[in-house]
C-alpha cells in the first residue's frame, strides 16, 4: 500500500511538471505568433511604399524631409490589414548620387535618388516591429 501511494505521488508530481512545461511552451508559441504578425505587417508597409510612387517620386526630393504613410497629414494613422494587424511609417529622402555600377544607366544622364523607408507593424497585445529599408529610384 505504501509503495503504491509513493508511485501515485511520483506520477502526480511528474504530471504537474509536464503541465507547467506545456503551458510555458504554449506561451512561447503565442508570443512568436504575434511577433511574426507584427513583422509581416511591417513588411506589408514596405511593400505599400513600393506600390505608391508618390512617396518616392518628384514630390519627395527635399533632403531630410519625410512623407508619412498611409496618410501624410496624420503620421500616427495606421493602415489596417484586418481586425488585428496594421502598419504605418515614414519615407525619407536621403539625397541623390550617380546610378550604381551595373544598373545599366549612364552617369550624368540619370540620377539615383536614395530613400530610407521606416515601417512599423502592429499586432495584438501591443506588439510592434519596426523595419528599415533602403531604396533607389533612378531617373528625373
CB 130 within 8 A of CB 42: yes
How many CB atoms lie under 10 A from the CB of residue 133?
A: 17
- Cell numbers placing 40: 509581416
Into how many domains does the chain fold? 1
**What is the Cα–Cα distance from 29 to 17, expressed in whole angstroms?**
19
pLDDT at 57 (0 to 100):
77
pLDDT at 5 over 80: yes
Q: Which domain holds residue 101?
A: 2-139
Q: What is the pLDDT of residues 78-136, one digit of tens each?
A: 999 999 999 999 999 998 887 777 666 666 677 788 899 999 999 999 999 999 999 88
Least confident of 37-46, 51-60, 112-121: 51-60
Amino acid at each position: 500500500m505504501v509503495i503504491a501511494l509513493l508511485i501515485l505521488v511520483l506520477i502526480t508530481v511528474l504530471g504537474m511538471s509536464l503541465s507547467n512545461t506545456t503551458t510555458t511552451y504554449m506561451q512561447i508559441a503565442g508570443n512568436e505568433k504575434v511577433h511574426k504578425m507584427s513583422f509581416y505587417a511591417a513588411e506589408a508597409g514596405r511593400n505599400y511604399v513600393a506600390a505608391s510612387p508618390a512617396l518616392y517620386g518628384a514630390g519627395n526630393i527635399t533632403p531630410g524631409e519625410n512623407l508619412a504613410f498611409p496618410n501624410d497629414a496624420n503620421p500616427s494613422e495606421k493602415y489596417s490589414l484586418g481586425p488585428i494587424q496594421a502598419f504605418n511609417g515614414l519615407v525619407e529622402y536621403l539625397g541623390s548620387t550617380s546610378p550604381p555600377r551595373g544598373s545599366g544607366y549612364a552617369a550624368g544622364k540619370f540620377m539615383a535618388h536614395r530613400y530610407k523607408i521606416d515601417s512599423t507593424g502592429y499586432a495584438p497585445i501591443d506588439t510592434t516591429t519596426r523595419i528599415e529599408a533602403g531604396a533607389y529610384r533612378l531617373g528625373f
